[in-house]
């Protein structure tokens, strides 16, 4: 007989859900996961992981095209798009299978079906619209994630108008693409296709690309994208899409004027919508929504006793590492662990794996001033770093923002090669509440890109030496 009574039921097996279930099992709780599609969720199967595999291929293609800069002569090379895509899918499949193994190893039962809250600690599970199980638990965690936002009249058709799914598995390389939206998803696809040879146009409603990033970093990144040959249109929106046999004509509105752009494919990347429909929220009256997302406290509790929510379904930032951390916080609080800290969203790093990479944590310069801080700002260019020059990656910048009175690190913002690997140094510092003196007295190895983190602090306080 299959067990149906648990200590914890997790609805959703993405990076928040499966982590929560495993942590529950580690703490001696009987846990299960209800997953309707793929273990690992969108991130592992159709998001974070496979896109990074694609971007790695595009980076190699870029390097091959610039081999002469490093003393190599290469001619007549080409890429096999089918193999590029197959590698990406293979990476996702390998890791998805690993999640299943981890759950089994930790004795977490997995129900292959769609979970629905029935109230009073009950969850029904259905498959192909047929009920397969009724589960009960004292604690239920909603981890249903989110999906791509769709603009009426511009719905992806899988052929000429793509969602992220179609953009990840092209059968042919388009000659031209319009990317609608320049958040992390949009700009990463723009970077992939541009570096693989497509003509790319990006349209963004806000006044700059990657609008959640610091304005100075965003402006720097945009210049680099344009140097690579991208066309970027900001402060504009798409008002109409007309499809013909072999291309798409998009009408763009900006400053009261319209223009038409014709491309082979359009990628829609205009945000996401939380998956809250049909999961039984009407049966748990204490669960509230705010702009479509489930409202929780710092420990991921909803207004309904015994019901919690983690990950994208709770709102921004929509990041896998946020979801995983929320899952751990939620379970450890349920288990009565001591020293469980509520999540601090200002300490969550954001990374965009375009070329050049962008990474940040904390407040932007604008937000720091709006919050009433008197600030000091430090900057250090990649051009002043020996390792960056040796790598052939001299374009970039590290920017730090400090509270003038306390020395608190308010925000760190980077653009350039491998900054997604460097940002964690500032994240650890923010979490540990280090001040500027701690960074100044830290010895950074030479020659490394990380030295720029040190130099940015020194620059903020008028002590920089190497530039």
Active site residues: 446
User: What's the number of CA atoms in the CB half-sphere (13 Å) around residue 377?
Assistant: 15
Helix (H, G, I), strand (E, B) or coil at 148: strand
Angstrom CA distances, 306 to 103, 117, 301, stand at 23, 12, 8
Peptide bond into 356 cis (omega under 30): yes
- For tokens 């760190």, name the residue: 412
138: Cα separation from own chain's centroid: 32
Determine contact, residues 3/92, Cβ cutoff 8 Å. no
Measured CA to CA, the distance from residue 419 to residue 430 in angstroms comes to 17
Among candidates 427, 425, 429, which has minimal Cα distance to 451?
425
Farthest CA pair distance, the chain = 70
Q: Tell me how crowded residue 76 is: count the other CB atoms within 10 A of its CB.
A: 4
Measured CA to CA, the distance from residue 395 to residue 414 in angstroms comes to 11
Helix (H, G, I), strand (E, B) or coil at 258: strand
Token digits for 318?
């929509």
Helix (H, G, I), strand (E, B) or coil at 160: coil
Measured CA to CA, the distance from residue 192 to residue 202 in angstroms comes to 13
Helix (H, G, I), strand (E, B) or coil at 413: strand
CA geometry: angle 226, 416, 359, nearest 5 deg: 105
Measured CA to CA, the distance from residue 188 to residue 53 in angstroms comes to 12
Among candidates 389, 382, 378, 381, which has minimal Cα distance to 457?
378
CA geometry: angle 174, 175, 181, nearest 5 deg: 70
Among candidates 212, 213, 261, which has minimal Cα distance to 233?
261
Measured CA to CA, the distance from residue 290 to residue 236 in angstroms comes to 27
Which long-range contacts does 440-444 make (Cβ < 8 Å, 24+ apart)?
A: none
């Amino acid at each position: 007989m299959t067990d149906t009574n648990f200590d914890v039921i997790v609805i959703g097996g993405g990076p928040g859900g499966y982590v929560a279930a495993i942590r529950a099992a580690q703490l001696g709780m009987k846990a299960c996961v209800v997953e309707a599609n793929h273990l690992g969720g969108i991130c592992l199967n159709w998001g974070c992981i496979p896109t990074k595999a694609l971007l790695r291929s595009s980076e190699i293609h870029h390097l091959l095209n610039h081999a002469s800069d490093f003393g190599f002569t290469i001619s007549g090379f080409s890429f096999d798009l089918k193999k590029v895509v197959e590698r990406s899918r293979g990476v996702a499949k390998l890791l998805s299978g690993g999640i299943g193994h981890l759950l089994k190893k930790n004795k977490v039962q997995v129900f292959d079906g769609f979970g629905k809250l029935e109230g009073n600690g009950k969850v029904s599970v259905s498959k192909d619209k047929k009920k397969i199980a009724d589960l009960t638990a004292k604690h239920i965690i909603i981890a249903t994630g989110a999906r791509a936002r769709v603009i009426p009249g511009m719905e992806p058709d899988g052929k000429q108008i793509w969602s992220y799914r179609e953009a990840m598995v092209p059968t042919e390389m388009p000659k031209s693409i319009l990317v609608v939206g320049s958040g992390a998803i949009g700009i990463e696809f723009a970077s992939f296709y541009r570096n693989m040879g497509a003509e790319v146009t990006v349209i963004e409603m806000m006044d700059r690309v990657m609008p959640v990033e610091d304005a100075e970093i965003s402006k720097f990144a945009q210049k680099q994208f344009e140097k690579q040959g991208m066309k970027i249109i900001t402060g504009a929106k798409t008002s109409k899409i007309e499809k013909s046999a072999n291309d798409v004509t998009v009408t763009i509105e900006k400053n009261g004027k319209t223009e038409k752009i014709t491309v082979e494919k359009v990628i829609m990347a205009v945000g996401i919508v939380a998956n809250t429909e049909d999961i039984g929220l009407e049966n748990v009256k204490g669960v509230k929504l705010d702009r479509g997302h489930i409202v929780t406290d710092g420990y991921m509790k909803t207004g309904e006793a015994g019901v919690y929510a983690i990950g994208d379904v709770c709102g921004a930032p929509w990041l896998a590492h946020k979801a995983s951390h929320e899952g751990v916080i939620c379970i450890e609080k349920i288990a009565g662990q001591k020293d469980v800290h509520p999540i601090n969203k200002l300490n969550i790093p954001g990374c965009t794996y375009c070329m050049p990479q962008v990474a940040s944590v904390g407040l932007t310069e604008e937000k720091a001033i709006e919050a009433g801080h008197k600030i000091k700002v430090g900057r250090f260019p990649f051009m002043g770093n020996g390792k960056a020059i040796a790598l052939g990656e001299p374009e970039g910048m590290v920017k730090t923002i400090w509270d003038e009175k306390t020395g608190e690190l308010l925000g760190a913002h980077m653009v350039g090669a491998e900054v997604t690997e460097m940002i964690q140094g500032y994240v650890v510092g923010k979490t540990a509440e280090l001040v500027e003196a701690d960074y100044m007295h830290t010895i950074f190895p030479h020659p490394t890109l990380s030295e720029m983190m040190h130099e940015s602090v020194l620059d903020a306080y008028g002590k920089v030496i190497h530039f």
